[in-house]
Each structure stands twice: as C-alpha cells, then as structure tokens.
A = this chain, B = another copy of it.
Amino acid sequence: MENYVHNIPTKVYFGKGAISHLDEALKPFGKNVLLTYGGGSIKKTGLYDEVMKILNEGGYTVTELSGIDPNPRIESVAKGVALCKEHNIDVVLAVGGGSTIDCSKAICSGFYYEGDDLWHMVKHVKGYKKSLPLVDILTLSATGSDFDGGAVISNMKTNEKLGGSYTYPSVSILDPTYTFTVSKYQTAAGSADIMSHIMEGYFSRTPDSELADGIAETILKSVIRNLPIALKEPDNYSARANLMHAESVACSGIPEYGKKSTGWPCHAMEHELSAYYDITHGVGLAILTPRWMRFILKKDPTCEWRFVRFARNVWGLDGEDEHELALKGIDVLEQFFRGNGIPMTLGELGITDEHFRAMAEHADIGGRLSNAFVPLTADDVVQIYTDCL
C-alpha cells in the first residue's frame, strides 16, 4: 500500500431540497455573486428562477456569466475574470455540470492571477492557487468537479485541452432531482465519465489497497445497475441519487488512496480528441477505454490479474481460463456502453485518422503516458486511436 494525502475541504449538502442551504453557503463570503451557467437549460427547468429567488431574498447583488460551453473555453474564463474584477465579486456560484464548475474554478483562480495571459496560467501554473470562493449547484452526474480541485480548460485555437489543479468548491449542493431532465445521451455519457474516473485508477499495480479497490468496484457496480434504470425512468430518485453519489466520489482521489499512480491514460488520449473535435468527453472515454484495455493486455500480459479481478468483482463473471475471463470483462464493458446508447466508434463521430499522429505526440507530453499502468508510446496511442475507428 502506498502513502496518500487526503485534503478535501468541500462541504456537501446531498439530497432532495438541498438548495435550502444555498443562502448559508454563500453568506460567509459576501453579497456580490457571479452566477455562472451554460446554455440556458437551467432556465427551462426552473432552477434559474429558484436560485434567483433565494439570491434576491438574501439581498445578494448578482452578475451573470452564461453560455459556458461543454469543454469550457479560455474565452469564458477571461470573461468571468473581467466580470469579477469589474463588479468586486465576493463569491462565484456555478449552476450546471462539470464544464460550468470547471470554468468557474479557473475564473476563481484567474481573479488572483497576476499575468495578462490566462492561457499561460492554464498551461504553466501548477497546483492549487489563491482563489475566490466557489459554491456550486450540480445538474449533471459526470465529472466529479463538485468534489475535486481540478478543472479542464480548452483552447480551440491551439487545439489544446488541459487539466490542472485550481481550487476546491467551498460548498457543493447535490440534489439528484436536478438531473431528472438530463437527456438519455448525456446521462449515458456522464455515467461513462464516472466509470472512466474509477477505471483509470483501478487499473494499477498495487494489489493490496483494499478499501480503495472496494470503493472502486462498488461505484462501478452501482453505475452499471443504475444507469439503465435512469434511462428508462428519468425521474427515478434512487437511481439518480446513486449516480450522483458515485460521481461525487469517483474523481475525488479517494478510490485511488494507497495505490500507485497510473497516469490516467484514457483521459490523456481523450483530451486530444475533444481538443480537435469538441466531442462529448464521456463518449470519447467510452470509445477509448475498451480499446486501450485490449491493447495493454496484449502488450503486457503481467497486468492480466487486474483484468481478471475486474471481470469477477465488477461484472460477476466466472470461468477457469483467466485470459478468456480478462477479455470477457472488456467485451461486456463495451457492450454495456453500446447497449446504453453510446456511439462506440470514432467513425460514428465523423473522426478520421487525419490528426492521430499529432494528437498522440501531444498526449504524451510530460511523460504522462510513459508512466502509465502499462507505459504507452506515441506509436501505441496511434494504434489505440486506430482501433477506435
């Protein structure tokens, strides 16, 4: 078992009606709020009105930043920082999914960034930064940005999508009923994202971090059980609540405590896909993961025991031939994604091999992939992309 550091200061209010804590969450920070959100779905669902009612009754002064895109852009970060400076913002309130929260984290840190070029901050300033406080209300079970300190920001001009550590939310309000209106496609893609966060850490060389592996397997099984229910019955509270509980823990680091770091290779490869083609993150991960699994199992058979454990403990498979069992676990994962409506080839997204070499070279920057569970070269990554076509 490896050493770990646990340091998550975020307070979470989880459950139906958790928004009743919004005023007490914001109050300690001040009265000038920057409200951030995406394409306006919160106006359709009534959540925007609910939030504004609480803010108005609490005497807050509200500045708005709307239109934050999936794969949030550096331009939105810059706009948000300018608004915070102009309106003396005390606290940022993000209402939305992971993109809105990620963008808001970069805004909170960008407020104190001393340079002019915020893209330079994204590219070069490592680790947690002095930041404005952030409160969020989650509307999509996917990224886990509500319970981690990271954010991923995109620059479509340079075809770059870069992750980094910014700040933890001070308070996250997680009400599963806000996800009742999420489309089947986004529900499935979000679930693939949750599962990927777990699988990226689960496939590690450490055999004996029992709590971490048990949490990982529990979350995978819970998503496998609840995603089909949520697709069939979008307002099934129990299914939506279990997906939300799973997502908030999946990216927190907790399912990896005590385990050797793995490099999160599918995320490294997927960020390139999103940066070039602006696809849905969870869909890219779902497409890549089984192909990556088959590739590394072939490249390094010493990792087979992990795949056998995955097949047995997550999918409940059994059989005497361990190699067959390992492959079967990967097959059922791919079938699960496809069966829940996720397009499972890059071809279906209109992606060709045109940029595979450039993407592979860039994904490897910093040696992330050379330190992975099974180390990958740029050639390996090109092959994995090709297997996804």
Instruction: Note all chain B residues with C-beta closer than 8 A to A209.
Output: 242, 245
A258 within 8 A of B: yes
B7 A242 Cβ-Cβ under 8 A:
no
With contacts A211-B219, A217-B214 taken as known, whether A4 is within 8 angstroms of B11 at the C-beta atoms is no
Q: Which of A1-46 contact B (CB under 8 A)?
A: 1-18
B1 A11 Cβ-Cβ under 8 A:
no
A215 within 8 A of B: yes
B12 A242 Cβ-Cβ under 8 A:
no
Shortest Cβ distance from residue A87 to the other chain B in the assembled complex, whole angstroms: 30
What residue of chain B has the Cβ atom nearest to residue A226's Cβ? B210
Among B1, B3, B7, B245, the residue within 8 A (CB) of A257 is B245
With contacts A4-B15, A11-B7 taken as known, whether A214 is within 8 angstroms of B210 at the C-beta atoms is no
Please measure, in the bound complex, the distance between the C-alpha atom of A245 and the C-alpha atom of B17, giving whole angstroms.
Answer: 33
Among B16, B242, B258, the residue within 8 A (CB) of A245 is B258
Instruction: Note all chain B residues with C-beta closer than 8 A to A226.
Output: 210
What residue of chain B has the Cβ atom nearest to residue A240's Cβ? B1
What residue of chain B has the Cβ atom nearest to residue A244's Cβ? B1
With contacts A12-B6, A14-B5, A15-B2 taken as known, whether A210 is within 8 angstroms of B225 at the C-beta atoms is yes
Interface residues of A, Cβ cutoff 8 Å to B: 1-18, 208-211, 213-215, 217-219, 221-222, 225-226, 237-238, 241-242, 245-246, 249, 257-258
Instruction: List the 8 closest A-B pairs by CB distance, nearest first.
Output: A214-B218, A3-B15, A6-B12, A210-B222, A1-B241, A7-B11, A208-B238, A211-B245
